[in-house]
Structures are given as structure tokens and as C-alpha cells.
Amino acid sequence: KQKEVTTEPERQPRVFVLDFDGDIKASDTDPLRRSITAVLSVADPERDEVVVRLESGGGLVHSYGLAAAQLDRIRSKGVPLTACVDKVAASGGYMMACVADRIIASPFAILGSIGVVAQLPNFHRFLKKNDVDFEVLTAGEHKRTMTVFGENTDKGRQKFLEDLEDTHVLFKEYVGERRPAVDISAVANGDIWFGKRALDVQLIDEIKTSDEYLIEACDRADVVSVAYQRKRTLPEKLGLATSAALEHTVWRVLSAFRNQKIQ
């Protein structure tokens, strides 16, 4: 018999939604990288899109550099990438956002802060006052340019400033390559811009909340939220159960005490 040929109906385009809530160490990078790997294994560059809802005020250079590199994986595969910023994407957060093909932000979202900062206390005078010696032994002229407990020198400070400036240059180059329409010399001074002002200097492409964008996307595509959750170990599960039971017990004791007091 002749085999019956069946054709599958054409599927809807898909919008994959990823979330990144950044702290100073960009701790969300590992879940993000795993989610991106999963999405890239099924995404069609011709039809699908990735949306990252991004919230971060920045943090460690190397940590946010890795997080931004994860988003670069999406662009290198040719999958359209949109960054939605509802509250803040500054410093390292903006480094991530600028990777996207389009940046959408709410009217008062904070963006920019294209600069580098480093600060540390120094207790050398305190230790000296109390006759405490602190020695730093290094091999290599620039192995330790600034120290918390030792005496900092002008030469060490100069080298440290040079490193900061070089990091700033790399940051500006990174943004300039991904946002060529932006006048880097005008925006890379550490200033921040609220959404509407950021649009004026082309740090973003549109004023809109992530909710508006995703609701509109539902009319043209299947919107799928993607998240990575690590399977908890048995001790972790027992710890959570114990914590919940303790919280419930405390709540009951407080409720009983409150009722007694009212009576």
C-alpha cells in the first residue's frame, strides 16, 4: 500500500523569556547560562526570539563580563534578543543589556553608569599607632598595588588607576561595538539616565514595560518562560521542612499570646 503522507501544521513562533536578577557577584549567571543552553538547543533563528528581563545595578567586572558573554551566545546564533528593563540596568547591568538587538525600558528605569569604580579601606595608620607591623611579600612588581593593611604608595596608586582606566576603555569598546549609534564620549562618564532621557541619547530603543511587551508578543507568538531550578539534596529538603515547621510553631505561639493579651 502507498504510505499516507501527513504534513504537520506550521507551528507558532516562540518567545523565550529569561529572567536575570543581578547582585554584586552576578550570582544569577549560572542559571542564566543553563537556560540559554536549553533555549539554543530548540530555538529557530528565523522565527523565534529571546527576551531577557534584566534587573541589575552592576557589580564585579569579571562576573558581569561572563554574564554578558552568555547573552552574546544568543546573538552569535542569530536568534533575535530583546532586553527589557523595568527598574535598573546600570554599569555591569547595562553591559549585559547592550548585547541585545533591542533594549526596552520603563519610563523611569535607571540606565547607563558606564564607568568603573574601586574602593577599599586602609588601616595602616591605625596599626602603626598601635605598634602593629603588617608585611606584604610579593614576587612581581605589580602583584599587589594597593593593600588594606599595608602602606600604599603613590606608585601603587598610579598603577591601580591605570588598571581602572584600561577596564573603562574595554567597557566603552564593548558598548560601542554593540550600540554603534551611541556617542560613547558623551555617555561613558559614569552618569545615569532615566528611561526617557536614555532614549534621547540612544542608550535604549523604546519606552515600554516588560508586561506591555510580552502581552503584545502573545498575539504573534507562543510566549514561554524558561528558568533553571537545581534539584535540592535531601539535607536541603529536610532543612526547608524544619524551617517551615519552626516558622509555623512560632506563628502559633505569637497568635496565642496575642489572643491572651486581647482578652
SS3 assignment, position 65 = helix
Catalytic member of 35, 91, 113, 210 = 91
Q: Count Cβ atoms below 10 Å from residue 173 Cβ, excluding itself.
A: 12
237 catalytic? Reply is no
Would the CA dihedral through 68, 71, 20, 107 be positive or negative? positive
Give the largest Cα separation in the chain, rounded: 99
35 catalytic? Reply is no
Instruction: Cell numbers for 132, please give them.
Output: 602593629
What's the CA gap between 94 and 87, in Å, rounded? 12
Catalytic member of 1, 3, 129, 143 = 143
Amino acid identity for residue 83 in this structure: A
CA dihedral 238, 243, 249, 253 (to 10 degrees): 160
Q: Helices marked H in the chain — which ranges? A: 29-40, 61-76, 92-97, 124-129, 154-178, 184-187, 195-200, 210-217, 234-262
Active-site amino acid positions: 91, 143
